[in-house]
Chain A
Amino acid sequence: MSAVTRVDPAVPAGSTRALSARRPLGDRSFQILTLAAGLLVLVILVLIAITTSQQATSWFSAEGLKIFTNNWNPGANQFGGLAFIYGTAITAAIALIMAVPVSIGVALLLTEVVPPRWARPIVYVVDLLAVVPSVVWGLWGILVFAPWLQHIYTSIASGVGGVPVLGPLFGQPVDGASFFTAGIILAFMITPIVTSLSREVIATVPAIDKEGAYALGATRWEMITGAVWPHSQGGVVGAVLLGLGRAMGETIAVALVIGSSPEITSHLFAPGYNMPAVIANQFGESSGVFRAGLMGLGVLLFVFTIIINVVARGVVQRNARRKRGA
């Protein structure tokens, strides 16, 4: 054991000199730096709103409320954008109708059915779906998928010709590049996010409730409807809303397969257009009010997705909080 060899730790009575030190400059600067980085998020969001709106003002002033009419004709200087809003809504709806049941099904499969050893590979596969870039979906969509679908559409259309509800939906005109095709591809693309979020939500259901249901002799499906669903429905709604936001904003795949035809029609197999697609396709050749119009559609898209995302995250958070008993 070495002898006592160390600096005198004694501080003269009454003095705090050695104990006090100004907070090191590095420590304070670091804190400011992290704060700045965090605020950057807010700053960017605000700047997006401001700068894009600025670029779109000539459209707003030229058209006023007519931006919500179905009257898009660049040649004649008319820029009513209803067709694109309609297209965004329709394709998103189609995507959700197809993707939500599948995503919830896979989420339930992962959390309730498969043994943990199998969960990993299944999750990998779902993640692979997410890694495929949008443009590759689009390329495959327009060159391979759409032509194939066109045959199917044609058969269906000839079958439902005069039928009351199905006719207007699935009858002629028919094109491989259409609302429906865009909807299907969007469904492929939003499935990973809805699945993973639903899975997170479902996994937080307390095991006690699940075991309680089983202890009463419930089958697995009955346990799911009785114990899992009531706990997680809020969160799943949130996950669905996030999928909706994603479906509305997805650009490139849609731009390639939607048919590029600004029409409002009930015929889902007909070519159409939506907001991000027209912006992507026509921005390059646009100028003046035309360009402002496209920018304005971008502003609308931004506003819609922000609102949906705020609601979605709010719903998910509230569901989590309620479950915690707060």
Chain B
Amino acid sequence: MEYPEQEVVTTSLPKPAALQQSGAPAPDVAGATVFDTRNVSIYYGSFRAVTDVSLTIYENDITAFIGPSGCGKTTVLRTLNRMNDLVEGARVEGDVEYRGAALYAPGVSPTAVRRRIGMVFQKPNPFPKSIYDNVAYGPRINGEHKKGRLDEIVERSLRQAALWDEVKNRLNKSGLGLSGGQAQRLCIARTLAVQPDVVLMDEPCSALDPIATGKIEDLMREIKSEYTIVIVTHNMQQATRVSDRTAFYSVLRDEQNDTRTGVLVEYGTTQQIFEDPADPRTQAYVTGRVG
């Protein structure tokens, strides 16, 4: 796949008029649909890990998945970029659509999917290569080899990740030598370097200190206008700080078989979920009584 020389400016649908006028996000007005899941259940072998998830992710939103441990939020996240394919025996039932196209249709290439839908992991995982090579890795495997272009891409991505000033003089040093927060921003830069459409984040700050966490949350707000972000987080304050919409998951316990299955309890604007939840389970969780 050729890395694009020409960059085309476009989005698929114009923003709704209400948003254009006020500038402030009108909570109930959504942008274009990026993901649409309908009755999705995820199995590992015969074990049903997540059941019946139906929600819609909108363009340029930051959507948070919250919930107690084991409720399947990471599983659902990984389904969105077909990372679950890497687990033997993983299976998805139901419909997952990305911008109108079925993500799990036969003939869909997982690698093509992942080039559009990137992922940042819980524990920063820079490659044992130089900082430059870490960021240039994605473009290189997409066919971009011109030094000039790569230099541009590396700088732009590191700037977007708010890391450029800290590493610009040591781009050829190993990525392993960075602190936790820097390493995670390096991983974000690496993800942004291929200019995906969506960035999925799996508890990106859980291994970081509060200052590093703050930097990453600032970063998310900065890049949100160009990307759609879905973030799994354990930290409810983080969800309220950064997200536009929140999905609350919980656990269904099957006493007979001693299994736990994740289930989507409620999904709405962050304001609504935290201030006026419809489901009592949601209320119990966000007020800290449970989970």
Contacts and interface: CB of A to CB of B under 8 A. Distances in A.
B10 A19 contact: no
Contacts of B100: 11-15
B109 A10 contact: no
Given A7-B4, A13-B101, A18-B112, 11 more contacts: A4-B11, A6-B7, A6-B8, A7-B8, A8-B11, A14-B101, A16-B101, A19-B109, A20-B105, A21-B111, A23-B109
Contacts of B108: 16, 19-20
Contacts of A9: 99, 116, 196-197
Interface of B: 1, 4, 7-12, 32, 98-103, 105, 107-109, 111-113, 116, 156, 160, 195-197, 222, 225-226
A170 to B, nearest CB: 60
Contacts of B9: 3-6
Contacts of A10: 10-12, 32, 99
Interface in A1-43: 1-16, 18-23
A238 B23 CA distance: 74
Contacts of B101: 11, 13-16, 19
What does DSSP make chain B's interface, helix, strand, loop or mixed? loop
A21 B106 CA distance: 11
A5 B99 contact: no
Nearest to B102: A16
27 contacts: A2-B156, A4-B11, A6-B7, A6-B9, A6-B195, A8-B10, A9-B99, A10-B10, A10-B11, A10-B32, A11-B98, A11-B101, A13-B100, A14-B101, A16-B101, A16-B108, A18-B112, A19-B98, A19-B109, A19-B113, A19-B116, A20-B105, A20-B108, A20-B109, A20-B112, A21-B109, A21-B111
Listed from nearest, the 5 A-B pairs whose CB atoms lie closest are: A13-B100, A9-B197, A10-B12, A21-B109, A20-B107
Interface of A: 1-16, 18-23
B156 A16 contact: no
A42 B10 CA distance: 56
Contacts of A19: 98, 101, 103, 108-109, 112-113, 116
Nearest to A15: B101
A1 B100 CA distance: 30
Given A7-B4, A9-B116, A9-B197, A16 B107 contact: yes
A8 B111 CA distance: 18
A211 B226 CA distance: 58
Given A5-B7, A5-B9, A16 B105 contact: yes
Nearest to B117: A9
B161 to A, nearest CB: 12
A145 to B, nearest CB: 48
A1 B160 contact: yes
Given A4-B11, A6-B226, A20-B112, A13 B4 contact: no
Contacts of B10: 8, 10
B21 to A, nearest CB: 20
Contacts of A23: 109
Nearest to B6: A7
Contacts of A22: 109
Contacts of B222: 1
Contacts of A8: 8, 10-12
Contacts of B105: 16, 20
Contacts of B196: 9
A7 B7 contact: yes
A12 B112 CA distance: 16
Nearest to A20: B107
B109 A13 contact: no
Contacts of A1: 160, 222
